[in-house]
Amino acid sequence: MDLAQLLARRRMVRSFDGTPVDPQWLDDACATALWAPTAGNSAGVRMYTVGSDSVAAYFERATDPEWRRDASRAPGLARAGAVVIVTSRPQDYLDRYGEADKQTSGLASPAAWPIPYWHTDAAMATMALLLLLEEGGWSATIWGNFRHDRAVLEWAGAPDESLFASVLVGRADGHDPRSRSLHRVVPTRASRVRRLG
């Protein structure tokens, strides 16, 4: 399958059947995803893999009891076969851009970055992982970092890092609740491309 087909086929799946993901396969996929671009070769993105036996413990940190009780998507998401926690290390970028060959950039402090590339690099590595998962026949969804980030980072043993997102991985069970976002009228992909000159 070529890249265009992978991109067109990839979907966020929010209901899994509980099939465990082979931990070594997932570790290898994460290492491959980290070939994604990294500003200044800072290598400041990390991925922590969570096996099926620890998915429930992850959800205890990443959610609260009310959400687990009330959210219609909670049971399907909790059946993920693995989780990948994606973090970035902003200090790695500040240190790198403070080195002699990058000093003239003026990017040795966080406020100097119009776009913090630690987020950009984490996003690129996450997209690479999503495509590798699709190629490997797995389903996945992004679990955004909107709350409970400190608890997740402490649990992962990475309290000084920045949580970008988690990727829930597994086999789709066919009971994915349809996202309301799909009903929105949006511009076509082609109309969002502009040729200049």
Task: Say if 179 falls within a structural domain.
Answer: no
Q: Give me the half-sphere count of Cα atoms (radius 13 Å) on the Cβ side of residue 32.
A: 14
Task: Say if 196 falls within a structural domain.
Answer: no
Return the closest-CA partner of residue 3 out of 126, 127, 106, 113.
127
Q: What is the reported pLDDT for 182?
A: 78
Task: Say if 186 falls within a structural domain.
Answer: no
Looking up residue 119, the CATH number of its domain turns out to be 3.40.109.10
Task: Say if 131 falls within a structural domain.
Answer: yes
Q: What is the reported pLDDT for 1?
A: 73
d(CA 74, CA 67): 7
Q: What is the reported pLDDT for 179?
A: 76
Q: What is the reported pLDDT for 155?
A: 98
Residue 84 Ramachandran class (φ > 0 left, ψ -120 to 50 alpha, else beta): beta
Task: Say if 184 falls within a structural domain.
Answer: no
- Please count the structural domains in the chain: 1
Q: What is the reported pLDDT for 177?
A: 78
Spans of the chain, pLDDT less than 50: none
Please give the residue range of the domain that contains residue 159. Answer: 3-170
Q: What is the reported pLDDT for 94?
A: 97
Q: What is the reported pLDDT for 43?
A: 97
Task: Say if 123 falls within a structural domain.
Answer: yes
Q: What is the reported pLDDT for 6?
A: 86
Q: What is the reported pLDDT for 180?
A: 79
